[in-house]
Structure 1
Amino acid sequence: MSLADSDRELVVEELGREPTPAEAALFENLWSEHCAYRSSRPLLSAFESEGEQVVIGPGDDAAVVALPDSDGDEDTYITMGIESHNHPSYVDPFDGAATGVGGIVRDTLSMGAYPIALADSLYFGGFDREHSKYLFEGVVEGISHYGNCIGVPTVAGSVDFHDDYEGNPLVNVACVGLTDEERLVTAVAQEPGNKLVLVGNATGRDGLGGASFASEDLAEDAETEDRPAVQVGDPYAEKLLIEANEQLIEEQLIESARDLGAAGLGGASSELVAKGGLGAHIELERVHQREPNMNALEILLAESQERMCYEVAPENVDRVADIAERFDLGCSVIGEVTDGNYTCTFDGEPVVDVDAHFLGEGAPMNDLPADEPDQPEPDLPDADLESAFETIVSSPNTASKRWVYRQYDHEVGIRTSVGPGDDAAIIAVREAETGLAISSGAAPNWTATAPYEGAQAIALENATNVAVKGATPLAAVDCLNGGNPEKPDVYGGFKAIVDGLADMCATLEAPVVGGNVSLYNDSVSGPIPPTPTLALVGTKAGYDAPPLAVESDSESSLLLVGDLGLEFESFALGGSEYLGQHDGSDVFPTLPEEPAALIETIATVADDDATLATHDVSHGGLAVALAEMVTETAGLEVSLSTADPAGALFHEQPGRILIQTTAPDAVREAFDGVAPVVDLGSATTDGRLEITVGEQTLETEAATISDLRETISSELE
């Protein structure tokens, strides 16, 4: 760890002296890109983060959003947060991913909430590479181990493979928690004289410099040289911490809270008091430790997991210690809140004496040049339709992710009404008699092709996922992943995904209430595609939703809603898996003109009694969506008139859905003036998919489709 010369000059000017080694390391970590958002914060004002439902927006450990219940009241709150653990997951995929789960769950705890659902969005290099498979297996094992042990269901997410993640995978994890106004806690210190209490695991030397490690490109030797910067998780201690936190909140013993993540104790405690415009005095030797002879810097900056920093009124300290002991957790009274500087001593000797606000907010922002992203030149392949269908349906990007989610306990907590494998998960929030739909993901092919339009499409895609389950968007959090922002072309792509995501979320009236930024995702393999993961939630009355699979109802109709390509008689294939598999390029598809009205209408129609099945059309296009809807007992006969069969089957314009309905005229009426509706065909009872497109007919058995879609399982088992 080393403080940059320009930053050191600012620190010296503020302090009037040279910083101590502990101060220099603290500034180096808290002024890193990972903590201070020096390159991204100037762009984030593009997001609309306010709304009647928003209780706490960006800036705290997690956002807080009010849920409307059946009576129109808003007494139940959810928390939303998202975190990246990208570099640690490259160095140590199991522990890197596991501690990412632990960190976002503790962000939830610090708001006085109980975690009820997780969503993970994962991005790896080409699936045909052994190293990518190694990282993939380790990350999934880490997420499943930690989530299953702490008893929080992983219900949603995504997995994408793209060559440009080969040297730098992404692991983005979101968490939803449940709280209410009386339980709500923030990370704003309240009053001088209150004690700072550290509860949880003992502090060791793991994770030293993790924040600065996350703020630089991965080197070729990162897997060995940077291993000490990766934290080691203990999910059983986290489970105890979850239950202890619940007891502390129930007894109203906590004034404010912050979990110990990036920059460890120094980051959590200084940010806590800075938000309250206060200071603190901490005696570092009081911190309970698990390794001998730790020095002040190690105690201050170690990122050992499963730890919380609480502000506690003096009269409640003994009760907090009793609860910690009951749950077999360590507990140290490490200092108190003051109205002065942020100071730390070690064995009576001063090691830190700085203004907390300057430490947390004093980092200068970067003014970086940004190049406009290039527009792709059309270069369309001439592929055989039948072989292309098999290739796209069996691609790891569009194939079944059952191998992943079957390792997750997605039913623990008995709230999961619709689990992974569908367009969106639904969690039963019985406290508000509300179904909470959750969708999370990005689309690297889209944003690599057209960063701005692709990011817009990602927002619309996640909103469509919740809408086809009958829910309307409530709020979202994002994880903005990019490469080295000092490269103008990379920063230009990153700026474009910020603007695209912000514009579409504003159009959909889905405030972006929080998030995370991860830059310097560069390696010897080059930069990652700009990757704006969005975790979006929506609400609906009740907990039921139309299924994805069709029913064998011969009296029903299968309708395609929203395909502008059919309306224009042309198809833009840019960003599609079809072009990705055949080394082609094209411009990105046109987005719907009235996306908010489209989403609202989809949700209304999905909840109609005449609707038998619904499915979003996205990655892999219409061909994959149709293949996913058939079963061994219910097939589809589909006919599509077009002069461009490949374009019709494989283009990936977002905002399209398939609806199986017994009232097709009512569906057409509902979408009149909102989106085009095309009658595709009907269901059969023989488990066969027959697609007539133009002058060609593709016929596939459900069993064959099932085999094609098991690409990941067949490769890894």
Structure 2
Amino acid sequence: MNQPLENISEILKNHKLDQNDYEQIKQILHREPNLLEIAIFSAMWSEHCSYKSSKKYLKGFPTTAPYVIVGPGENAGVIDIGDGYAAVFKIESHNHPSFIEPRAGAATGVGGIMRDIFTMGARPVANLNSIRFGEIYRDDEIGKKHKYLLRGVVDGIASYGNCMGVPTIGGETSFEACYNGNILVNAFTLGIVKNEEIFYGRAEGIGNPVIYVGSKTGADGLGGAVMSSDSFNEDSKSLRPTVQIGDPFTEKLLLEACLELFEKKLIVGIQDMGAAGLSSSSFEMAGRSGSGMIMHLDKVPVREEGLGPYELMLSESQERMLICAKKGFEKEVMEIFQKWELDVEIIGEVTDTGNMELFWNGEKCAQIPIEALSENAPILDRPISKPKYLNEINKNEYKRNTFSQQEIFKKLLSSLDISDKSWIYSQYDSTVQTNTIVSSGQTDASVIRIKENGTSLAMNVNCPVRYCYLDPKQGSAIAVATAGRNCVTRGAKPLAISDCLNFGNPQNPEVMWQFKEATDGIKEAAQILQTPVISGNVSLYNQTDSVDIYPTPTIVSVGLIQKGYTPITSGLKEKGNLLVLLGEIREDFGGSVVQKIIYNTCEGKPPKIDLEKEKHLWELMKDNFDSKIIKSAKDIGKGGLSIALAKMALLGNMGIEIKTAFNSSDGVQKDMIFSESQSCIVVEINPEDLTLLQKNCKKYQIPCSVLGKVGNKNGDICIDSIAMSMSEAKKLFFDSFCEIVKLS
């Protein structure tokens, strides 16, 4: 076990460790490490597993509430949704693998996040995703590359989720030049479990058996955690072997076997073999319990010859779990997995030594103190520096344009940012399990019914990346607010959020400043809006050839609709109804879509958000929901008021007649219907309910403006000087995406 290593400098370099790390390892072990031990430290101390650059900024997130059952630290977060049931959810990244091998990377991202959910004892019932690409519209190698990436990612998400029988009910897609060298694939899953049947990733009880279940181990995904903790360059194509290969049919068997196992109360804990594979699952399970563990690696099921302890501890082969079973119930556990035709082997047991002891054919090949490894993981205090680019672009103001409202509206409605993405979401099965009420294509949040207790859950994923580029703190706060507001427009009360923090190279002080500011924005918004952070993920090193992505703190908000209430949708319902603006439109054009489409730039300052006013808007909407006066609702987002109204009209297939107070000959005033002001919602009501709506608005001091009515004689969309037939609007909105991207 202690054979001296040659060329230690090269070994450390290959494992992304430095001399300081090596000295720390020797202090922990009280001796020289062997190659296997170095590999385990490398994986467990990687950015992906240890959060060494980000951990200091994650402290202070609000994580508790009366309904929060499990917060950060477990496989996923859990909230109480009433009558003895809970929702389990989390979002994670699979960015690097998806850029290298888009179909396999995206598929295993979906598979991995689903395992995090059913490891907690929950059956997955809904998936969301947030996917971001570069300049796909270009007629060059970049455009060609991103068409390939888009097709592969969508195919990977669809194939895995559809085969698992879990509906993909919503998501978001965006295209920015900053993602030319690094696409983002963030996957979210929500599951349902009884409160008393939640399971945890723990290994405790001296002598309890440690059991390997699922697929056999191969060399695929070898070193994936370390790979995801580094930037890309021209040599990154050689990383393909680090991308895992998934099998959704095996995962479906694993899901059903685990749920059967949970019902019979045969285990102490269970952990998915995710990043760093057997290393992370074993160390985390024992570490949470303060236990030790012995594992006999020669007993691990393998699907190819030549795999030794090094490969078995680092492989990230998919569809595998590690179980700590109750002693004496080994046979019953094994029979369940054998019935489902899955591999199952007893490979070790829990000890009280506090050490991880690994054996190969009876000979000890590694011994590492578990607590010391985790407690001594590097926590870096990297330098921070405000980005120099902000000094210039934040000064710039929105220019007055020479385009008419009609011209701008046509450009926005048909843009990649706003046009309908049915080419993407139509490939996802959104109705399997028969619980989907509102899915992709309906704008704002998606909704599923929870048949176990009669409630419904709304969920939305959001990140305004251009705002975050201009002001990471403000942009991140807006992400939290917008994800929650989109649930509010469905009639839900937002309860909690999960975050996926995608950033560039942490060795760049400007990136770490962005990260600090973003986490500050999330903390403030989550605190004021009372939506605690109960799970999440950090993805750093999203950089290629020294070009970092925009700060992309993706937020998923989950809200509860009480039993007996029907969710609100965005499509208009009845001619003659009034359309009313709740909130105030201001001159908010920094980072807006109109700025991007008209001027091809991202500058100025993003919209300001008053989080207390946002909270009052949510409370106002709850009163309106309880009063049953809201027929449809849509928040003001990309493209401003004009696009919100257009989407309501298109989804309801009804014309609108709108005259705002912004119709002025002044250049800036003319564009106000494209302003992306925050804390604004358009609602449809019956005329006789206007007095009650105004009374509710006065209670919360929210401005209330009648914009116009549903329907006109020609069925056109008429907003100030904009006049467009429904047929033309449908063609621009529903057909443009495929035409721009040239997808068949």
How high is the TM-score relative to the length of structure 2?
Answer: 0.92
Indicate if the aligned counterparts of 1:415 and 1:427 stay in contact, CA closer than 8 A.
yes
The yes-or-no answer on 1:545 pairing with 2:567 is yes
Indicate if the aligned counterparts of 1:598 and 1:674 stay in contact, CA closer than 8 A.
no
Alignment match of 2:69 (pick from 48, 55, 59)? 55
After superposition, residues 223-372 of structure 1 pair within 5 angstroms as 224-340=237-353, 341-372=355-386
Q: What is the CA-CA distance between 1:657 and the residue it aligns to? A: 0.9
Indicate if the aligned counterparts of 1:467 and 1:602 stay in contact, CA closer than 8 A.
yes
Alignment match of 1:455 (pick from 457, 465, 476)? 476
2:40 is aligned with what amino acid?
A: L
In the alignment, the residues of structure 2 paired with residue 563 and residue 331 of structure 1 have an alpha-carbon distance, to the nearest angstrom, of 60
The yes-or-no answer on 1:107 pairing with 2:116 is yes
Secondary structure of the 1:611 match is coil
Alignment match of 1:682 (pick from 709, 716, 721)? 709
- Aligned residue number for residue 672 of structure 2: 648
Unaligned runs of 5+ in 1: 70-74, 566-570
Secondary structure of the 1:580 match is helix
1:10 is aligned with what amino acid?
A: Q
Could you tell me the percent identity over the aligned residues?
A: 35
Secondary structure of the 2:197 match is coil
Alignment match of 2:545 (pick from 524, 539, 542)? 524
1:510 is aligned with what amino acid?
A: T
2:339 is aligned with what amino acid?
A: R
Q: What is the CA-CA distance between 1:289 and the residue it aligns to? A: 0.4
2:613 is aligned with what amino acid?
A: E
Alignment match of 2:46 (pick from 32, 44, 62)? 32
Q: What is the CA-CA distance between 1:380 and the residue it aligns to? A: 2.5
Secondary structure of the 2:452 match is helix
Alignment match of 1:629 (pick from 648, 652, 660)? 648
Deviations 1:153-191, CA, capped at 9 Å, x for gaps: 111211111110110011111111111233111012221
The yes-or-no answer on 1:698 pairing with 2:714 is no
- Aligned residue number for residue 580 of structure 1: 596
Indicate if the aligned counterparts of 1:166 and 1:525 stay in contact, CA closer than 8 A.
no
1:122 is aligned with what amino acid?
A: I
Alignment match of 2:457 (pick from 427, 430, 436)? 436
Q: What is the CA-CA distance between 1:691 and the residue it aligns to? A: 1.0
The yes-or-no answer on 1:209 pairing with 2:227 is no
- Aligned residue number for residue 92 of structure 1: 101
The yes-or-no answer on 1:667 pairing with 2:693 is yes
Indicate if the aligned counterparts of 1:434 and 1:540 stay in contact, CA closer than 8 A.
yes
1:393 is aligned with what amino acid?
A: L
Indicate if the aligned counterparts of 1:573 and 1:647 stay in contact, CA closer than 8 A.
no
1:361–1:394 distance in 2 versus 1, CA, 3 Å: farther
**Which moved further from structure 2: 342-351 or 374-383?**
374-383
1:524–1:94 distance in 2 versus 1, CA, 3 Å: same
In the alignment, the residues of structure 2 paired with residue 307 and residue 646 of structure 1 have an alpha-carbon distance, to the nearest angstrom, of 58
Q: What is the CA-CA distance between 1:687 and the residue it aligns to? A: 3.0
- Aligned residue number for residue 9 of structure 2: none
Secondary structure of the 1:324 match is helix
Indicate if the aligned counterparts of 1:451 and 1:497 stay in contact, CA closer than 8 A.
yes
2:398 is aligned with what amino acid?
A: L
Deviations 1:210-230, CA, capped at 9 Å, x for gaps: 0000000011231x2100110
After superposition, residues 437-516 of structure 1 pair within 5 angstroms as 437-516=458-537
1:674–1:460 distance in 2 versus 1, CA, 3 Å: farther
- Aligned residue number for residue 182 of structure 1: 196
Indicate if the aligned counterparts of 2:80 and 2:195 stay in contact, CA closer than 8 A.
no
Secondary structure of the 1:321 match is helix
In the alignment, the residues of structure 2 paired with residue 244 and residue 96 of structure 1 have an alpha-carbon distance, to the nearest angstrom, of 25
The yes-or-no answer on 1:169 pairing with 2:190 is no
Q: What is the CA-CA distance between 1:358 and the residue it aligns to? A: 2.1
Q: What is the CA-CA distance between 1:514 and the residue it aligns to? A: 1.1
2:435 is aligned with what amino acid?
A: R
The yes-or-no answer on 1:589 pairing with 2:617 is no
Indicate if the aligned counterparts of 1:82 and 1:172 stay in contact, CA closer than 8 A.
yes
The yes-or-no answer on 1:601 pairing with 2:628 is no
**Which moved further from structure 2: 178-187 or 88-97?**
178-187
Secondary structure of the 1:178 match is strand
1:508–1:392 distance in 2 versus 1, CA, 3 Å: same
Secondary structure of the 2:338 match is helix
Secondary structure of the 1:134 match is helix
In the alignment, the residues of structure 2 paired with residue 278 and residue 16 of structure 1 have an alpha-carbon distance, to the nearest angstrom, of 20
Indicate if the aligned counterparts of 1:38 and 1:365 stay in contact, CA closer than 8 A.
yes
In the alignment, the residues of structure 2 paired with residue 383 and residue 44 of structure 1 have an alpha-carbon distance, to the nearest angstrom, of 45
**Which moved further from structure 2: 93-102 or 383-392?**
383-392
**Which moved further from structure 2: 486-495 or 597-606?**
597-606
Indicate if the aligned counterparts of 2:117 and 2:123 stay in contact, CA closer than 8 A.
yes
Deviations 1:392-440, CA, capped at 9 Å, x for gaps: 1111111112111111111111111111223111111122221111111
Secondary structure of the 1:536 match is strand
- Aligned residue number for residue 405 of structure 1: 425
- Aligned residue number for residue 568 of structure 1: none
Indicate if the aligned counterparts of 2:296 and 2:347 stay in contact, CA closer than 8 A.
yes
1:577–1:204 distance in 2 versus 1, CA, 3 Å: same
- Aligned residue number for residue 57 of structure 2: 43
In the alignment, the residues of structure 2 paired with residue 135 and residue 253 of structure 1 have an alpha-carbon distance, to the nearest angstrom, of 43
Secondary structure of the 1:315 match is coil
Deviations 1:655-686, CA, capped at 9 Å, x for gaps: 21110101122222212243211111001154
Secondary structure of the 1:42 match is helix
Q: What is the CA-CA distance between 1:645 and the residue it aligns to? A: 4.2
In the alignment, the residues of structure 1 paired with residue 314 and residue 427 of structure 2 have an alpha-carbon distance, to the nearest angstrom, of 34
1:711 is aligned with what amino acid?
A: S
In the alignment, the residues of structure 2 paired with residue 196 and residue 285 of structure 1 have an alpha-carbon distance, to the nearest angstrom, of 14
**Which moved further from structure 2: 622-631 or 199-208?**
622-631
Q: Please, what is the CA RMSD of the aligned residues?
A: 1.5
Deviations 1:264-292, CA, capped at 9 Å, x for gaps: 11110111001100110000010000001
In the alignment, the residues of structure 2 paired with residue 286 and residue 513 of structure 1 have an alpha-carbon distance, to the nearest angstrom, of 36
2:592 is aligned with what amino acid?
A: S
Indicate if the aligned counterparts of 1:689 and 1:702 stay in contact, CA closer than 8 A.
yes
Q: What is the CA-CA distance between 1:646 and the residue it aligns to? A: 4.6
- Aligned residue number for residue 72 of structure 1: none
In the alignment, the residues of structure 2 paired with residue 600 and residue 18 of structure 1 have an alpha-carbon distance, to the nearest angstrom, of 61
In the alignment, the residues of structure 2 paired with residue 525 and residue 4 of structure 1 have an alpha-carbon distance, to the nearest angstrom, of 21
In the alignment, the residues of structure 2 paired with residue 68 and residue 318 of structure 1 have an alpha-carbon distance, to the nearest angstrom, of 36
In the alignment, the residues of structure 1 paired with residue 451 and residue 592 of structure 2 have an alpha-carbon distance, to the nearest angstrom, of 39
**Which moved further from structure 2: 146-155 or 426-435?**
426-435
1:272 is aligned with what amino acid?
A: M
Secondary structure of the 2:349 match is strand
TM superposition outliers: structure 1 runs of 4+ over 3 Å: 643-647
In the alignment, the residues of structure 1 paired with residue 172 and residue 341 of structure 2 have an alpha-carbon distance, to the nearest angstrom, of 36
Indicate if the aligned counterparts of 1:33 and 1:215 stay in contact, CA closer than 8 A.
yes
1:311 is aligned with what amino acid?
A: C
Secondary structure of the 2:659 match is strand
**Which moved further from structure 2: 420-429 or 137-146?**
420-429
1:712–1:221 distance in 2 versus 1, CA, 3 Å: farther
Deviations 1:278-328, CA, capped at 9 Å, x for gaps: 110000010000001211100111000000101001211111111111111
In the alignment, the residues of structure 2 paired with residue 404 and residue 288 of structure 1 have an alpha-carbon distance, to the nearest angstrom, of 38
